[in-house]
Amino acid sequence: MQIHVVVAPVFATNCCIVVDGDGQRGADAVVVDAGAGVARAVTELVAERGWTVRAVLATHGHVDHTWDAAVLCEEFGVPLRIHAADAYRLADPFGTLAPAPRHGGGEGGAAGVSGALRQALAGLGLRAEDYRVPGAVVPFDADGDDGEGTLIEGTLRLRAIPAPGHTEGATLFVADGVLLAGDVLFAGGVGRTDLPGGDDAVMRATLRDVVGHLDPSLDVVPGHGPTTTVRRELATNPYL
């Protein structure tokens, strides 16, 4: 497989195009985490290389990973695949990024997340009202499409590993020696748990029981920031 990364201008979300085989013309592909502002670059790259996009996938339901999903699903005539536990977020993209209020009023430690997102979108000439839910959403669960945790999109096979904590339906995708980690694992860090649906205890269990048992040889493309490896994170990441 080949993996091509397009960095979104909003929150620098890493949008990945996973392509089967050597990426020859006609090869099957999926787009993972269609962040705000990637649609044009993704569409142009797919057209230039002649790939056949079979689906748009999301590692989780936060809008900085799904903003351009609707336009890409429409462009390629494909569904959005997202874990069933996170599908509800698609209909309320900003509400599910709003911090919980502190006791006695005011916003908690996550204050400003939705506001910062709105400002970043405004820099691209976008408004909250411009957001669209994809017309076709096909949720998946821990059993995947084959009953064993694998998503099947044309000739592509991606292992989908539930990794809740950042959100209820956060998912890791493994494709040919590469881990697409979403906002579960970063180079030197892990996903925050203070937004709605986040759970620190669940995240700790995910880091211990899921991430801690991944193949150390896996390369890692996180949802934001530089690439890394599982081996490096197990050895140096303070949260692991």
Question: What is the CB neighbour count within 10 angstroms for residue 119?
Answer: 11
Count of Cβ atoms closer than 10 Å to residue 100 Cβ: 13
Those residues whose C-beta lies under 8 Å from the C-beta of residue 16, and which sit 6 or more positions away, are 3, 4, 5, 6, 31, 32, 33, 180, 221
User: Tokens 């996170």 map to which residue?
Assistant: 86
- What b/e sequence results for 72-94 when a residue is b if at least 16 CB atoms lie within 10 Å of its CB, and e otherwise? bbebbebbbbbbebbbebbeebe
DSSP string, 203-217: HHHHHHHTGGGS-TT
Q: Phi/psi at 115 (nearest 5 deg)? A: -65, -40
pLDDT at 106: 36
> What's the pLDDT at 94?
82
Which structure tokens are listed for 141? 């669960």
Residue showing tokens 């084959």: 146
Give the residue among 136, 30, 141 at the shortest CA–CA distance from 83.
141
Domain 2-236 has CATH 3.60.15.10: yes
Residue 160 to residue 144: CA distance in whole angstroms: 7
Cα–Cα distance for residue pair 26/11, rounded to 1 Å: 32
**158 beta partners:** 151
Other Cβ atoms closer than 10 A to 193: 17
d(CA 70, CA 90): 10
So what's the pLDDT on residue 117? 82
Query: Beta strands 178-182 and 219-222: pairing type?
Result: parallel
- Predicted confidence at residue 112, as pLDDT, reads 61
H and E: helices and strands count for the chain? 5, 13
Looking up tokens 């990637």, which residue turns up?
Answer: 38
Give the three-state DSSP class for 190: strand
Going residue by residue through the chain, which has 240 residues, state the pLDDT in tens, using 9 for 90 and above: 899 999 999 899 999 999 999 999 999 999 999 999 999 999 999 999 999 999 999 999 999 999 999 999 999 999 999 999 999 999 988 877 765 444 333 333 344 677 788 888 888 888 888 889 999 999 999 999 999 999 999 999 999 999 999 999 999 999 999 999 999 999 999 999 998 999 999 999 999 999 999 999 999 999 999 999 999 999 999 999
**Taking the domains of the chain in order of start, what are their residue ranges?**
2-236
